[in-house]
Chains A and B, each alone.
Chain A
Amino acid sequence: MARIIVVTSGKGGVGKTTTSASISTGLAKRGHKTVVIDFDVGLRNLDLIMNCERRVVYDFVNVIQGEATLNQALIKDKRVDTLFILPASQTREKEALTKDGVEKVINELSETFDYIVCDSPAGIEHGALMALYYADEAIVVTNPEVSSVRDSDRILGILQSKSRRAEMGQDPVKEHLLLTRYNPDRVERGEMLSVTDVEEILAIPLLGVIPESQVVLNASNQGLPVILEDQSDAGQAYDDAVARLLGEEREHRFMTSQKKGFFSRMFKGG
């Protein structure tokens, strides 16, 4: 049985796809057979972030509608052996994702994979509900900013009431907070919500804190999951998050500002 993990947030642009790419790559790098599914029908982007956009032939909806087999649609990652990508359809209606159709695909994947990572679209509409419905665990990607935190709380409510686990009265979906675009300098200046602030408001366990970093954009420009930039702070922070997801204890890093000297502050304008 595979562990099904949804990467969700409610709000758009907080780093769901970046996170899905890195978490799935990280899991696969540790030898777990992993598939990452793009649920954003019509706005496919996981393929770009993972650098396989030109290898897409069939997609998720093709498989649901029996126009292709899973093996035809799955794209094998070129960097990590045990990683596969199931791209979203770019041309179909969102409603092409049906509960039964998604279940069929997830069940089939469950037979051979250890981890199924579901990259949710933004919002709380059909696509987002489908992405979270079958989840065992949820990574709630949040920016330290008011609208993102509020939307995360909304999505937590939906996980607790509309997921299959909730409907069936099973153990609830295990929730993880992943704080992204974190800027410790601004937190210290009182301009940004701190990790503890967000933890206090959302009241779910912290999986990791990804510092705001230029490396993230540079990596996505090249179609490289940022976790593979293993010298960078953001890459290492994602690696820590994957380790914690697998039950390892790791201390949180990159949460305090790198103190600048008086002179560099004067000449670089703080």
Chain B
Amino acid sequence: MSFLDYFRSKKTNTASVAKERLQIIVAHERGQRDMPDYLPQLQKELLDVIRKYVQISDDMVQVDVDRNESCSVLELNVTLPEK
């Protein structure tokens, strides 16, 4: 830092940018890490079953697994198209 810089306004705090980016990516990667291996297949088959009755696209079904200490919860979100 040169003498003049010392009096200039503060530059952006890059450390806080780094922290924010890391928190997002780490949370995302942890989420994927805990997923059981069968999840993609399960999602595909569920989609097939639902399609027998309702026309939906791939991104309208969301499958997540939430793990607590005592149990795991399989969360299934299906968005049905408007009639």
Contacts and interface: CB of A to CB of B under 8 A. Distances in A.
Interface of A: 145-146, 149-150, 153-154, 157, 161, 187, 190-194, 197, 200-202, 265-266, 269-270
B13 interface: yes
Given A201-B23, A269-B1, A194 B18 contact: no
A150 B26 contact: yes
B3 interface: yes
B1 A191 contact: no
Interface of B: 1-3, 5-6, 10-16, 18-19, 21-23, 25-26, 29-30, 33
Contact of A154 (B15, B16, B21, B29): B29
Given A266-B3, A269-B1, A150 B15 contact: no
Nearest to B34: A157
Contact of B18 (A146, A153, A154): A146
A187 B14 CA distance: 10
A153 B23 contact: no
7 contacts: A149-B22, A150-B22, A190-B14, A197-B18, A197-B19, A200-B23, A269-B1
A192 B16 CA distance: 8
Contacts of A161: 33
Contacts of A265: 6
A213 B8 CA distance: 29
A193 B33 CA distance: 25
